[in-house]
Amino acid sequence: MGKRIFLFLITNLAIVVMLSVIMAFLGVGRYVGPDGIDTGALAVFALVWGMGGAFLSLQMSRFIAKKATGVRLVDGRTGQDELDWLYSTVARLTQQASLPMPEVGLYESPEVNAFATGPSKRRSLVAVSSGLLRSMRRDEVEGVLAHEVAHIGNGDMVTMTLLQGVINAFVIFFARLIAFAMRSSDSRSSYGSSYLVIIVLEIVLGIFGSLITAWFSRHREFRADRGGAALAGRERMLGALRRLAANRELVETQHQALATLKINGTRGWMVFFSTHPPLEARIAALERFQQ
């Protein structure tokens, strides 16, 4: 899930900033720009544009994930035993979960990773890395796939979008409110510089907002682990997590922010920005879980 969340957040932040730039060029600022604030109009504007940006990111999520990772779709008729098994396993797990069949894909990478994404349960994608297939036994891969199918079944991307939309609204609202206050206290401030301040504030506030989405994501990871255990069996899910713990070094260090199962949990203060709990905490929680 980490990969799709990372891509979702980056896309979402880019859209919010882009919308602000477009608004500046179009001169949409009479009520919500730096020259004057109607807080009621601003609140409505922030909610509509914030939610709109989040849902636009959601609609683009599957396309962006495919392009960013180079996913190659498989259909169960490749003639390659490993890929046909991958497809049939996802099909079986989604049938168990009473879900529509998602797209299934493989992307070339030495990292041990997998992700699920898509704007809805009917338009979802489950993809795994070639490194994951090479380094894990089939029962362990099944645990990973069950975890990703559980994310789809839990509707995590839609729920994340609703949360991100609310955060976007707060970011848009307070960025303009702060910029208005700064402009009011500095008569030399120009219209253009005020919009630059708004964009900078949106980026900064958006980064702080990511603390909330990261916390929410960590909470949902525990739930997806339990869902994966319910689908594939607790031992398969535990086996997958333990294998990941034993193969930490296989994840490319430059892609730590994208590691779906967060092989080496973030330490120190950066844990607050991590979309995944420490792997050890996930194993301990799953060991306590009774199916």
Give the residue numbers annotated as catalytic, written as ranges: 148
State the burial class of residue 30 (Cβ atoms within 10 Å of its Cβ: 0-12, 13-18, 19+): exposed
Whole-number Cα distances in Å, 107 to 30, 68, 77, 259: 48, 10, 17, 14
Distance between CA atoms of residues 141 and 117, nearest Å: 18
Bridge partners, 126 (sequence order): 104, 116
The rounded Cα 50 to chain-centroid distance in angstroms is: 17
Cβ contact 258:2 at 8 Å: yes
Contact between 31 and 38 (Cβ < 8 Å) = yes
Between strands 114-120 and 72-74, the pairing is unpaired
| Backbone φ and ψ of 278, nearest 5° | -55, 140
Identify which of 239, 248, 234, 255 has the alpha carbon closest to the alpha carbon of residue 278: 248
Strand pairing partners for 107?
A: 129
DSSP letter assigned to residue 289: -
C-alpha distance across the termini of the chain, in Å: 23
